[in-house]
Amino acid sequence: MNVLVVNAGSSTLKYQVIDTKSHKVSAKGSCERVCFTGGTFTHAANGSKKVTENIEFPDHKVAIEVVLKDLEANGVKIEGIGHRIVQGGWYFGDSSLVDEDVLAKIREVAPLAPLHNNPEANVIEYCLEQYPDLPNVTVYDTAFHFNMPEVAKTYALPKDVCDKLHIRKYGAHGTSHRYVSGRCAELMGKPIEELKIVSCHMGNGSSIAAIDGGKCVDTSMGFTPLAGLPMGTRSGDLDAGILQYLMNKYQLNIDDMLNILNKKSGVLALSDGVSSDFRDLENAHKEGNERAGLAVDMFNYGVKKLIGAYAAAMGGVDAIIFTAGVGENSASQRLDIASGLEFMGVKMDAEANNVRGKEAVISAADSKVKVLLIPTNEELMIAMDTAAIVKG
Ligand code: ADP
């Protein structure tokens, strides 16, 4: 089946057309600066060279319209549309075939992720109105974490408030964790039901997931994607007492405070402003910048601690997966994270680890725990879900 996979972000709309049988991508591109002026449309179809045009996108509906017209003009046939949805909230533990009810629920949970769910819902609405014959499927970043046990997903806050306002750990990157853990089982030649896996999605945003028998049992992101590890510009977990102290000291309101925690913290802040990009940090450290070194060390230390914690939570671990920008590219960070885990049966192969962006086993042949590099492919996962649901 030929599926158009749509990923609408707060100011972008990215897409791919994927054949779910051959996994071939026949068209892909992105609309940038949606809802702003100075928009660009970059696209390629049927093996042609990538082209970038200046097109204004006053909203996401215009962006999806441009994409669908471009596919038509290039003769790219699509049989269904798969939408990435950032927040499935308290409704969705699985991907769903879109109808009015699903669309209404995506809007209802939008206060949990307003920058994402609203544009995503607008795109779906356009597709339903203009292409009523095409089935639409929604795949939620949070669905993989939906059924985490109570001990992992509950906050130590008043129960009535949490119940009423649906406050719980929702997690993120679920589609990525699901994809790489599935591939991990295939590569190891074992049923996923028999495996305990720690999946490390390390990019600009990062989350770690404990996956026992194919089910997520804990993850590092929380109610929002601000929790867990220190990230590019996000603080990760911190003592809420700091908020009160800072807000009183500098007369900040909660929006100012969250702007700092989301955009001015993380490794950018740890490195004293060097960069939010781990490549820059590694280079700056090589040139002697101690704070850049500390930022990378603190991130790696955080991942290592979570691997240990999740092994304890699952009562063991068979495989550790590294994925996303940092996980797929930084051999030195992978090595640093895994070093010191020999006590629990992790033994890296430095030579095998010297690899980027392709599937590989990077642990030694006699390592009790397999360590794998698996490039993530959320788009393929969304396309496969779409085909599975449409075909019933
Ligand atoms: P996002 O969370 O935005 O999807 P990605 O998964 O694309 O992010 O990861 C982007 C990050 O990957 C960059 O910020 C950069 O820090 C990191 N990265 C990419 N290449 C390398 C590399 N060779 N070494 C270290 N980090 C890298």
What are 7-17's pLDDT values in tens digits?
999 899 999 99
Structure tokens at 290: 């101690």
pTM beyond 0.85: yes
pLDDT in tens, 262-274: 999 999 999 999 9
For the chain, give the mean pLDDT.
97
- Percent of the chain topping pLDDT 70: 100
Per-residue confidence (pLDDT) for residue 114, from 0 to 100: 85
Confidence of residue 42 (pLDDT cuts 50, 70, 90): very high
* Active site residue ranges: 141
Distance of CA 41 to the CA centre of its chain: 23
- Percent of the chain topping pLDDT 90: 99
pLDDT in tens, 62-99: 999 999 999 999 999 999 999 999 999 999 999 999 99
Of 274, 329, 379, the one to substitute when testing ligand 1's pocket (max ligand atoms within 8 A of C-beta) is 329
Per-residue confidence (pLDDT) for residue 168, from 0 to 100: 98
Q: Are 26 and 19 in contact (CB under 8 A)?
A: yes
Q: Which atom in ligand 1 lies closest to the alpha carbon of residue 204?
A: 2
Q: Which atom in ligand 1 lies closest to the alpha carbon of residue 282?
A: 25
pLDDT in tens, 275-295: 999 999 999 999 999 999 999
